[in-house]
Amino acid sequence: MDTIQILYFTYPSQFKFVLFLIGTFVAAHLVALLFKNLLFRLTAKTETELDDELVKMGQRPVYWGVVLGGIYLALTQLTALAEYTSYIESVAKIGFIIILLIVAIRFSRVIFSWVTDKKKMKKKQIGYILTVQKIINAVIYFIAFIFVLNSVGISITPLIASLGIGGLAVGLALQPTLSNYFSGLYVSADGFIKPDDYIELDNGMRGYVVGVQWRNTTIRLWNNNLVKIPNSYIADTIITNYNEPENKSSFIVECGVAYDSNLKQVEKIALEVAEKTQNKKKYGVPDFKPLFRYFEFGDSNINFKVIMQADKFKNHYEMKHEFIRELKSTFDKDGITISFPVRSIEFLDQPIDINVKN
């Protein structure tokens, strides 16, 4: 005890320096034990893995934050370094900024990894999510850089002012491009349209989605031409996706038979032909039962509809083609007539004067 007292009164600043160093590493060790014996066990009991990753991510930065803080306090106890206190403080601030930067970057990585795994996104969607992550990381680095400049005494007000004016000018110039870019991120993350989907826009344009690029969405029309549409328009327009919620596509075939037809026979024949077409593995959906409904007394026919279903939207054209061909052939064999409009002109009490000139 006497030796400690002698050291304390003889070398007070050095003694405090050593005590602070010892206390620093004891505190850092306690933090490590806290993570290992408490936080890791608590997060292991939860269903989600997100908290496990966050605690694991924060363990080392917190440990080194305690070490850095302790070393800073220890150095401030040395009277020999009193004139360098401002420099020590600046270095400590930069160290804390770097630690916070590491925490923010790791936090961003963990969150985005968890989101992509949780949502089970496609490669295209993951690409856009990673792009957003890079943008956020760039913002984090920029903020850290500003704080580092401020910690070493460099005024950031002129820099912020110049960036504000320049950023405004650039933002106005790039407004359409940025609008399309972020709309593309939204469209990809939303997942409503994907490559190979057959879609229809509210202006009547139909086609297959080739891809969602950073500025445009490319659609292939029926004649194999490609159309590029700005992503901002895609994000704001009404879209019908014929591949959602599933690839199966129902369609209607309308027809009519003469008024003297046997309607029960017509219904039976139409359903038989529809089921035969429906059960073809090439494009049909075998477990779907075609529906037959009469719906109006037309001018020349009693009209009906047959509802069928193809395995994909693009296959319903061929399926409809074959059904119409087979139905007409079967009607002809069974003597069922599909009438066409006939107009009769009557002349009442008026003689017809026909003059033939040679």
Give the per-residue pLDDT at 292.
94
For residues 324-329, give the mean pLDDT. Answer: 92
Q: In angstroms, rounded to a whole number, what is the distance separating the alpha carbons of residues 313 and 249? A: 5
Give the per-residue pLDDT at 291.
93
Closest CA to 232 of 189, 171, 175: 175
pLDDT in tens, 30-43: 887 787 777 777 77
Which runs of consecutive H residues, i.e. helices, occur in 120-240?
A: 123-151, 157-173, 175-190, 231-236
Asked if 320 and 294 touch (Cβ cutoff 8 Å), the reply is no
For residues 218-244, give the mean pLDDT. Answer: 85
Q: In angstroms, rounded to a whole number, what is the distance separating the alpha carbons of residues 304 and 293? A: 5
HSE of 169, CA atoms in CB hemisphere, 13 A: 5
Give the per-residue pLDDT at 121.
57
Q: Is 268 a residue whose pLDDT tops 80? A: yes
Q: In whole numbers, what is the pLDDT of the chain averaged over residues?
A: 78
Q: Is 327 a residue whose pLDDT tops 90? A: yes
| More confident site: 47 or 4 | 47
State which amino acid sits at residue 294: Y
Percentage of residues in the chain having pLDDT higher than 70: 76
Among 38-42, 86-90, 210-214, where is mean pLDDT lowest?
Answer: 38-42
Among 72-76, 97-101, 289-293, 344-348, where is mean pLDDT lowest?
Answer: 344-348
Q: Token pair of 214, please?
A: 């950073």
Give the per-residue pLDDT at 176.
66
- Sheet-wide strand order for 302-310: 249-257, 302-310, 291-297
pLDDT band for 7, please (50, 70, 90 cuts): very low
Peptide bond just before 286 cis, omega within 30 deg = no
How many Cβ atoms from other residues are within 10 Å of residue 28's Cβ? 19
pLDDT in tens, 139-198: 888 888 888 887 777 766 666 665 665 555 555 555 666 676 667 767 766 677 888 888
pTM of whole model > 0.85?
no
SS3 of residue 46 by DSSP: coil
